[in-house]
Structure 1
């Protein structure tokens, strides 16, 4: 892989990580801590939504982020011809 292609691959990789970390920060800090009181006015199955988001919802989002990362990195690897299998 030439230098330009490596740099493009690394930019795509870091952009994906940055975007997923932004989602992680929004869910963990904003929705689960900073906005917990306003979100508690919404009920989800009889439970205040802010509480549910802090206890369960954030975990669902975090697991989803793992799958999104795996799928997107696979696409980036294929786009730039990165193959982890040794021949």
Structure 2
């Protein structure tokens, strides 16, 4: 009975390592993707021409991804950054 009333233990060290590893991996992925958009990699330019939204949207998306990648690495902003970055993934996945 006393087990029910005891507080749950803090997250394990292994869980923290896995969480940080995933955050760093996702930050690198979004940094590379956003950097490619900002650098004007020909494939990215072609994709945004095909979509028809204009090159300004490529720049905005690149900035969102690069800023979100940085925010993923700041503990207080990681959850908000994940939500922010999920908005950049949602439109292409909806098709």
- TM-score w.r.t. length of structure 1: 0.47
- TM-score w.r.t. length of structure 2: 0.45
Structure with bigger RCO (C-alpha 8 Å, 6+ apart): 1
Higher helix proportion (structure 1 or 2): 2
Higher strand proportion (structure 1 or 2): 1
